[in-house]
Structure 1
């Protein structure tokens, strides 16, 4: 099911592209309306939450956990429409797949899932200047990016867990909550247009870029450290994440034909022709994200690499997963050969991966260990709190402006 994504008025982003000589292809030209398209269902819910307050928030929270049919009284119109949309499971989705969870992502050791997939996804998001400015304010990049890393990591873990995306499950609730936080950010960006934020951040194309971060970019990063998946696993990965895209409110035309990395690369190339080059805000966000991830990993129990070594490792991974040109534009510098741990790490991971997937029993054990990793379901985070509390935790007020 695809919502009608009504574009906002033409944005400065389109003008920016023409000014820097980025001539869109015919396909990009056809997709141009999505440059300023938001998510009408979620955007309407945000307006309704501001209008009706606690009553609408309680109806939404209960509806996400119990289902629309389980509510004692009819919720406000926009809340009902959103619940109907997320509860309408596309016919192509296999219910058994949702019970199993994202078995491909669960086969990745939690350390590497965090360093490669989470970091890669956020770095890919930062390539959009408009979104980088909104997600990671330049006046306080480190505290903000640390929170983003935590929120994104916990959300992803909830989304891939067995049964996590079943109606009312923690990943289902967290994903719809993420969708609404995107809508809240859009509301803030529209009110801030005259203050220098170009275009419509966290719109349809930016959302597609984030989605690619957890499929194409994240798994390219894993390949860089020696964790490769088969063609069959690749297909299962995109089947699962197509349902995540549905819950996130991504326009179906952007992902319905993406069934593997090859299709994802075509979408990635399309987005690249329609996005202005990374700017200082993008580079500041990327640098803060690399530093925050390295610091968190270095201070985690059992860490064996220093913060400096981890920063070098993350830079190596991002340069290979994003591509050298894109990494240079993001200010992700190369690492001297003498400190490059990638060859050794890749060899060790390939050997570990071989034995991990040697038999169905060993593969199941690895997925079970990843799904039961401490902290993935118990940490308090905005994604699983009632929406009113979640928005405060995420750093935005109900008025639609960033909290101080």
Structure 2
């Protein structure tokens, strides 16, 4: 006789579940159950939009930009989503949202790009279920430059001062990303997605994994390059990203007890230990991603690296972070730049010590980076895919 916690009732994508249960207890069982949970509020909005058409899309767009109070008798699913989005939990303050993610704003854009590609997205793509869905629904291997740019713009928008205030660019874009997830989930389920094998597409575990890929993963990557965050900086980082998790529709059970990199690493280990190794989809995505990243790094004004040099540095840093076995599985080759990494890390560490000792230096670094991130946000032509889906989903 099976029980609610029988592993046979969980998606077949899970591996090493008994070992995870021994190590993580109820958190492992909770994680397994959440593989079958999507985002009921956003999913209901997609159903409502498909039923009501353009007027519902216009209502949703107006509500995201101007607030629920600007609408007269909105459809129930749109009203419920907007109410959840606009309910600011008591663990975040308007003042901190106005300040932005001060920890992330200490990271220069070039290092953010390296950590984002070599750490965050490479780790995201190492999940076979996520890689399969991206290749199947988005042809990301062919669209890597645009998708990389769009995700970079979203990341900049959510960390900039005031970006997450109601109606702000980061707030609106995060809601649009959430709705894009719901649209992809709906489409995949209609086109034969195997939930018994993979769980619900873009389920709560996948969203949690993505959230970790914007918090602990890039900063663990940066730490290996000498850019280390202290306890106060970590606390500020996670409080800011708690709110982003709230806007993305992630269940609070995944993030509210995570206030530093150590706690986040525990959840990351649980998720990583229960999936199979990267597959061909992951390798296709990572290769396309690294091509796009090195194009960007080598073509920026005052770039100090050639395309070949940028790729060697990215490969070296990615292998240092992921380790040789995982890097090999992701198709990341050995690099001639590896011997330079200790020198680079020492230089970055010296800069961080100076910023920690001299508050004015940190403030100046943030000011310079804020201007560069704002320029990045303004540089993307046309509407993003998440804007298109939210405003004209069909």
Q: TM-score, normalised by structure 1?
A: 0.86
Q: Equivalent residue of 1:372, what SS?
A: helix
Structure ranking higher in helix proportion: 2
Q: Distance in 2 between matches of 1:178 and 1:285?
A: 20
Cα pair 1:108 1:370 within 8 Å, conserved: yes
Give 1:300 deviation, angstroms. 1.6
CA distance in 2, matches of 1:119, 1:173: 27
Is the alpha carbon distance of 1:82 and 1:199 closer, same or farther for their aligned partners in structure 2, counting shifts above 3 Å? same
Residue 7 of structure 1 corresponds to none
1:90 counterpart residue number:
89
Asked whether the 8 Å contact 2:35–2:204 carries over to 1, the reply is yes
1:80-107 Cα offsets, whole Å, 9 max, x none, are 0000001111111122110110000001
Q: Quote the Cα distance in structure 1 between the aligned partners of 2:161 and 2:149.
A: 21
* 1:282 equivalent in structure 2: 282
Deviations 1:310-366 (A, max 9, x none): 222212222233344433332223324x65431222122223333344422221121
1:350 and 2:345 matched: no
Say yes or no: does 1:398 pair with 2:378: no
Match for residue 257 of structure 2?
257
Task: From the superposition, tell whether residues 42 and 333 of structure 1 become closer, same or farther in structure 2 (CA, over 3 Å).
Answer: same
Change (3 A) 1:48 1:168: same
Distance 1:24 1:193, change over 3 A: farther
Q: CA deviation at 1:383?
A: 7.3
Q: How does 1:237-316 map to 2 (within 5 A)?
A: 237-316=237-316
SS in 2 for 1:183: helix
Q: Hey, what's the Cα distance between the residues in 1 that align with 2:206 and 2:314?
A: 23
- Cα distance in 2 for residues equivalent to 1:69 and 1:382: 29
Indicate the SS of the match to 2:11. helix
Deviation of the 1:375 alpha carbon: 2.6
Question: How far 1:185 sits from its partner (Å)?
Answer: 1.3
- Indicate the larger mover: 350-359 or 275-284: 350-359
Would the alpha carbon gap of residues 136 and 226 (structure 1) be closer, same or farther in structure 2, given more than 3 Å must change? farther
Whether contact under 8 Å (2:298, 2:305) holds in the other structure is yes
Q: 1:271 to 1:208 in 2, by over 3 A?
A: same
Distance 1:122 1:346 in 2: 22
In structure 2, how many angstroms separate the alpha carbons of the residues matched to 1:207 and 1:386?
A: 16
2:235 is the counterpart of 1:235: yes
- Does residue 1:165 correspond to 2:160, yes or no? no
Question: Could you tell me which residue of structure 1 aligns to residue 3 of structure 2?
Answer: none
- Structure 1 window deviating more from structure 2 (242-251 vs 348-357): it is 348-357
Q: In 1, Cα distance between the equivalents of 2:294 and 2:9? A: 35
Q: Return closer, same or farther for 1:195/1:96 CA change in 2, 3 Å cut-off.
A: closer
Unmatched tracts of structure 1, length 5 or more: 1-9, 400-404
- Secondary structure of 1:36's counterpart equals coil
2:341 paired with 1:331: no
Shift of 1:229: 1.2
Distance 1:246 1:264 in 2: 16
How many residue pairs get aligned? The number is: 382
SS at match of 1:163: coil
CA spacing shift, 1:329–1:138, aligned 2, 3 Å: farther
Q: Is the 8 A contact 1:227 1:353 kept in 2?
A: yes
Q: 1:383 to 1:321 in 2, by over 3 A?
A: farther
C-alpha distance in 1, partners of 2:280/2:18? 19
Specify every segment of 5 or more residues in structure 2 that has no aligned partner in the other structure, as ranges: 1-6
| Residue 6 (structure 1) aligns with | none
Measured after TM superposition, the shift of residue 200 of structure 1 is 2.8
- Aligned-pair RMSD on alpha carbons? 2.7
Range with greater deviation from structure 2 (112-121 or 297-306): 112-121
Q: Which stretch has the larger CA shift, 172-181 or 366-375?
A: 366-375
Residue 158 of structure 1 contacts residue 376 of structure 1 at CA under 8 Å; is this kept in 2?
no
Q: Deviations over 1:125-152 (max 9, x none)?
A: 1011121122245995543221221111
SS in 1 for 2:89: coil
Matched, 1:40 2:15: no
